[in-house]
């Protein structure tokens, strides 16, 4: 699918977590690089060089994720970035509403019960069964039975105002799509 207009960001990723990841791996890479210069043993230099390279790859991946919104809008489609590859482009008329939910955070824990987080849920129309289920990264969310769940851990803080903003913008787009086109005189 080729998009022609500019992307409108609706929901940002969790920038704090991504910046923390980026800076942590940048520091690890820098330390490994400096250590590779100081080490005299060739094997240690190679190991440090590999660690620096892997850290650079993680910095690059974090930079890419910083620029990818969790939800965006473009050319009549709501874009859900939950796969790590191209976003799922759902026609705007298929997306019915956004609301808050709660579920597992999918974070590592030492506690016996998994931590919970506030999630964003998008309800999709039952009239579009082709969008009922799509594969996504489980850490980022879930997509089944016509509901797209975005884990709050990996997006901007979810509040009532965020939900109102999303639903207001969705309503504006849907109304604009159904508005009669004025003829030029």
Q: What is the pLDDT of residue 185?
A: 46
Q: List helix spans (H) across the chain.
A: 15-38, 42-67, 160-178
Q: Over the stretch 44-54, which tens digit does the pLDDT of each residue have? A: 889 988 999 99
| Residue 3: how many other CB atoms lie within 10 Å | 14
| Residue 6: how many other CB atoms lie within 10 Å | 10
Radius of gyration of the chain from its Cα atoms, rounded to whole angstroms: 21
Q: What is the pLDDT along the chain (185 residues), one digit of tens a residue?
A: 555 568 899 999 988 888 888 899 999 999 998 998 888 888 888 998 899 999 999 998 888 888 889 999 999 999 999 987 789 999 999 999 999 988 766 555 666 676 677 899 999 999 999 999 999 998 889 999 999 999 988 889 999 999 999 999 999 999 888 777 655 44
As given in the structure block, the two tokens for residue 53 are 């390279």
Integer Cα distance of 85 and 165 in angstroms: 26
Integer Cα distance of 123 and 65 in angstroms: 24
| Residue 139: how many other CB atoms lie within 10 Å | 13
CA distances from 157 to 12, 78, 160, 176, 179 (A): 9, 20, 10, 28, 33
* Selection from 102, 104, 118, 106 nearest residue 155 by Cα: 118
As given in the structure block, the two tokens for residue 135 are 């594969």
Q: Over the stretch 90-127, which tens digit does the pLDDT of each residue have? A: 999 999 999 998 876 655 566 667 667 789 999 999 99
Single pTM value for the model: 0.75
Q: Hey, what's the torsion of the CAs at 66, 72, 78, 84, to 10 degrees?
A: -10
């Amino acid at each position: 699918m080729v998009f022609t207009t500019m992307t409108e960001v609706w929901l940002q990723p969790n920038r704090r977590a991504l910046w923390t990841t980026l800076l942590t791996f940048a520091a690890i890479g820098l330390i490994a690089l400096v250590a590779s210069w100081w080490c005299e043993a060739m094997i240690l230099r190679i190991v440090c060089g590999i660690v620096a390279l892997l850290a650079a790859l993680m910095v690059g991946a974090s930079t890419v994720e910083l620029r990818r919104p969790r939800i965006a809008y473009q050319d009549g489609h709501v874009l859900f970035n939950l796969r790590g590859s191209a976003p799922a482009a759902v026609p705007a008329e298929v997306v019915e509403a956004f609301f808050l939910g709660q579920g597992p955070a999918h974070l590592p824990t030492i506690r016996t019960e998994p931590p919970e987080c506030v999630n964003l849920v998008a309800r999709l129309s039952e009239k579009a069964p082709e969008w009922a289920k799509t594969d996504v990264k489980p850490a980022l969310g879930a997509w089944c039975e016509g509901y797209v769940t975005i884990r709050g851990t990996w997006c901007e803080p979810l509040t009532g105002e965020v939900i109102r903003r999303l639903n207001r913008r969705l309503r504006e787009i849907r109304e604009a799509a159904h508005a009669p086109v004025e003829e030029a005189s």
